Structure 1
Amino acid sequence: MIQKNTEQMSDLISFLEKEQSIQVVIVIKQHHPAELGRLVEALPNKYRRTFWDLVPINDKGEVLLAVHRDLRLSLIKLTDEDTLLRCLSNLQMDELADIDADLPLNVVSAMVEAMDSQRKERYHTVKDFPDNTAGGLMDVDATAVRKDVSLKAVYRYLCKLRKKEGMLPEQLDHLVVIDRENRVQGTLHLSDLVSWDNSLSVSDVMKHDVPFIDSLQSASQVAQIFEDQDLTSAPVVDENKKLLGRITVDDVIDVLKKNAEEKLLAQAGLKNELDMFAPISHISFNRAIWLGTNLITAFLAAWVIGLFEASIQQIVALAVLMPVVASMGGITGSQTLTVVTRGIARDLVSRANIFALTFHELKVSFINGSLWAAVVFLISYLWFGDLKLGGVFALALFVVSLVGTLSGAIIPYLLKRMGIDPAIAGGVILTTITDAVGFLIFLGSATLILI
């Protein structure tokens, strides 16, 4: 599959270089709009406008949804207002609300003005919620029925809806059952609708254990609920349990994809660098900040080493073994940092269990630290023939393993409490601590014991 995608991209770039528009159009027709979004992201800047101009209007709206924000803004600038209005007309209300902040104000105004009263109400309902909440994710076109109607009436209703809209809502596995005040009472699964006697009423076969999604719950919490309860869709309600809309599994997949992408980039300090072909100045500035931060922390570790320059000159073996101490401390800390950061992301870590989790990780580190301290003691003795050097090396590795574990547990928790993403800053702080403490313990104890 990877080889096939690579060949397709090579062919596409070749067609664009040779200005073979017909071949480019053939390639475009073979791909879903979301796949077209990935193609335009992979294209160098000089080919993007030509490719974008050849994308059909009916697909442009979904392509804008699929690409990251920086690229979306640049594509919008390349598109005239009439084309924007036409390509956005087929999007759902929640999708429009997701990108309206990136559109020119006059386009948004014209788009809203062209809506009927019902669509305007639905659009403003979604727009009032932040993008990273259930309300911002939901589709307001939830299909609801009353519990006092017959299954036969529900079936006729769905037939009329299909005829009117051309299709039923996506991911429709159940209908939401509401009362006269629009409060959610339960759900009617389509499998029950088609398998029970149609003379029965909705109340006879509806399910009452409805997994409510509060409109103000975060997108990450929504994703966790879908994962825990294996949902395909779920109703979104306000504080009075009144139906506002529904969230489907494809919305959740988008959330998971976005979170995974941001965390991957954050590990290298590239959280805001989504466009591979972004302007050089923009990329350089973002990376310069991260590199500068790492340079400062590196100088801190170097300063600690400099305090023991005389000791290193007298015992060359110290310089040989120093990287091992720093590496083991960093790896041990990173393992705990990853566990705790993942727990925080899944809302599993809190004040109630952080100390228990830290102590648990320290016990694991104590066992592993003891094991590998014994191993390095033996190795260093066989290598350099010095029992004291082996003891100092083993002690330093054992202590730095505990320090790394303690730091890996506490740092992400404190950063989260301070409103800082642990995935961005946690690794830098951890590396600084383990390097500085590791060198200090190793070189300091060597100076006291060996010299």
Structure 2
Amino acid sequence: MAEQKEFDQAHLTLQEVTEAIDNGRFVHVRRQLQDMEPEDIAHLLEASPRRSRDVLWQLTDPEDYGEILDELSEDVKDSLVSKMAPQDLAEATEGMETDDVAYVLRSLPDSVSKQVLEQMDLEDRLRVETALSYPEDSAGGLMNTDVITIRADVDVDVVLRYLRIKGEVPTNTDAIYVVDSESRLIGELPFTTLLTTQPDVQVSEVMEDADDAILVTTSDNEVASLFERRNWLSAPVIDENQQLVGRITIDDVVDVIREDAEHSMMSMAGMDDDEDTFAPVVKSARKRSIWLGANVLAALAAASVSNLFEATLSQMAAIAVLMTIVPSMGGVAGNQTVALVIRGLALGHIGDANKRELLLKEAAVGLLNGITWALIIGGIVVLWKGNWLLGGIISAAMLTNLLVAGIAGVTIPIMLKKMKIDPALAGGMALTTVTDVIGLSVFLGLATLLIR
């Protein structure tokens, strides 16, 4: 009930704000925005059509810009940032974590990014430039350079006094990192240990090994997998010289997991995971036309098979009625396997050592399902049409296509990944093309040879 109430309130807020803008009650909208949290304003911006969104952004307190930008999807963020002056953008990024600032700047033209960096103070600029020097999809691009470091030869009391003088710690800090004179990571001191240890104890006696250190070049997907398996809240990031360069926190990893999930879901429909719900019509149409064009080619391939057997189709109406069943069943079965393999690839469960076993397993599943559904569909056709030969033909085609679907469902995603093509984007379409062509070819080919 509480979740439903919160859901209704969110929609009422959107409706009220939209009506207020339409009626020109901008002062009322500004007051509403001042009472809302940055993440709620971000949700409101993403849910608003572009005309209302521009008005809302102008009515929002500039002091909240940074936190709001941090919560927005990439496409919406880009549309707002592109209209901001470099000085305003630099002010908006004050207080944002380094990795989030780098994320915003990467979406800007180089000339604009340079202007924004020039508006920052020296310390912030150096931190952001360090983050920008690493690939976006690596631990270096994901990390935050704001870390607390101490030496191993000091007492716990010294550390506590240092923290009190500092007055604050970075968000999601659960440990302090211990480094040597050359900034090499040698251990970490969890806050729980720090708070429960006698003040006169030396850090070197209670610090833990930094077993959770992540190399700066590690991919963001591997980082997310490590956090998931080991239940980390944060982890230090080191370079090839073992020097501490930053840290990654759980909130950054949640973003990676969410983006990967959105990417997989949207890619299956041939769309960008960051596409704005209210993007301009021409822009949306242009993006989707590419995928539609690819699907047309796949559909034409299947249609060309039917065209080869036009004479057979014209002679027997029953074949034309039943011809869609075989490719349809193959497509469903194959896409189930594709989804399983894509998930396995994403989680790192599938590699050269076990892909053969997976192929044999899915081939066996396809064979078992093929036999089962061949008997069921064949029996239905015999009862329906009273034709044993036609029932046998569709049974043979069903068995063949489900077996092929199982094999193709494994091999296609693995091959696409090796070719550096996103399996989530192209795997389903490639699989459907294969099952359509094979299913129609076997069914219509056998019908042509056996039915006179």
Provide the secondary structure at the position in 2 that maps to 1:53: helix
The residue identity in structure 2 corresponding to 1:311 is: T
The residue identity in structure 1 corresponding to 2:320 is: A
1:384-440 CA distance string (max 9 Å, x none): 122221111111111100111111111111111111111111111111110111011
In 1, Cα distance between the equivalents of 2:335 and 2:107? Answer: 38
Query: Which residue in the other structure is 1:391 paired with?
Result: 392
> Aligned to 1:154, which of 138, 144, 159?
159
Query: Which residue in the other structure is 1:214 paired with?
Result: 215
Q: 1:103 to 1:423 in 2, by over 3 A?
A: closer
Query: Which residue in the other structure is 1:72 paired with?
Result: 77
Query: Which residue in the other structure is 2:422 paired with?
Result: 421
**1:194-213 matches, cutoff 5 A:** 194-208=195-209, 210-213=211-214
1:315 to partner: Cα distance: 2.5
Query: Which residue in the other structure is 1:56 paired with?
Result: 61
Q: 1:338 to 1:105 in 2, by over 3 A?
A: closer
Further displaced range: 385-394 or 228-237: 385-394
Within the alignment, does 1:179 sit opposite 2:180 as a pair?
yes
Query: Which residue in the other structure is 2:97 paired with?
Result: 92
1:90 to partner: Cα distance: 2.2
1:157-181 CA distance string (max 9 Å, x none): 111122xxxx321111111122222
1:211-254 CA distance string (max 9 Å, x none): 11110111111101100100000000001211001000001111
Query: Which residue in the other structure is 1:345 paired with?
Result: 346
> Aligned to 1:9, which of 6, 14, 17?
14
Provide the secondary structure at the position in 2 that maps to 1:439: helix
Root-mean-square deviation (Å): 1.9
Q: Percent identity?
A: 36
Further displaced range: 217-226 or 279-288: 279-288
Question: 8 Å contact 1:236–1:246 — kept in the other structure?
Answer: yes
1:150 to partner: Cα distance: 1.3
Query: Which residue in the other structure is 1:137 paired with?
Result: 142
1:55 to partner: Cα distance: 1.1
Question: 8 Å contact 1:40–1:51 — kept in the other structure?
Answer: yes
In 2, Cα distance between the equivalents of 1:117 and 1:76? Answer: 22
- Unmatched 5+ residue regions in structure 2? none
1:184 to partner: Cα distance: 1.4
Q: 1:77 to 1:115 in 2, by over 3 A?
A: closer
Q: 1:283 to 1:110 in 2, by over 3 A?
A: closer
In 2, Cα distance between the equivalents of 1:302 and 1:186? Answer: 64
Provide the secondary structure at the position in 2 that maps to 1:200: coil
1:269 to partner: Cα distance: 0.8
1:109 to partner: Cα distance: 4.6
1:103-131 CA distance string (max 9 Å, x none): 47676455544555443332222121111
**1:154-303 matches, cutoff 5 A:** 154-162=159-167, 167-208=168-209, 210-271=211-272, 274-303=275-304
1:151 to partner: Cα distance: 1.3
Query: Which residue in the other structure is 1:334 paired with?
Result: 335
The residue identity in structure 1 corresponding to 2:335 is: S
The residue identity in structure 2 corresponding to 1:84 is: L
In 2, Cα distance between the equivalents of 1:271 and 1:114? Answer: 32
Further displaced range: 227-236 or 254-263: 254-263
The residue identity in structure 1 corresponding to 2:164 is: C
The residue identity in structure 2 corresponding to 1:355 is: R
1:316-347 CA distance string (max 9 Å, x none): 22222222111110011101111111122223
In 2, Cα distance between the equivalents of 1:55 and 1:276? Answer: 21
Provide the secondary structure at the position in 2 that maps to 1:336: helix
Matched positions, count = 447
TM-score relative to the length of structure 1? 0.94
Question: 8 Å contact 1:340–1:409 — kept in the other structure?
Answer: yes
The residue identity in structure 2 corresponding to 1:11 is: E
1:14 to partner: Cα distance: 0.9
Query: Which residue in the other structure is 1:304 paired with?
Result: 305
Question: 8 Å contact 1:273–1:283 — kept in the other structure?
Answer: no
The residue identity in structure 1 corresponding to 2:43 is: R
Question: 8 Å contact 2:330–2:439 — kept in the other structure?
Answer: yes
In 2, Cα distance between the equivalents of 1:52 and 1:117? Answer: 29
Q: 1:330 to 1:349 in 2, by over 3 A?
A: same
Further displaced range: 85-94 or 147-156: 85-94
Question: 8 Å contact 1:215–1:238 — kept in the other structure?
Answer: yes
The residue identity in structure 2 corresponding to 1:100 is: L
Further displaced range: 424-433 or 199-208: 199-208
In 2, Cα distance between the equivalents of 1:105 and 1:397? Answer: 56
Q: 1:107 to 1:56 in 2, by over 3 A?
A: farther
1:272 to partner: Cα distance: 6.5
1:367 to partner: Cα distance: 1.5
In 2, Cα distance between the equivalents of 1:322 and 1:105? Answer: 55
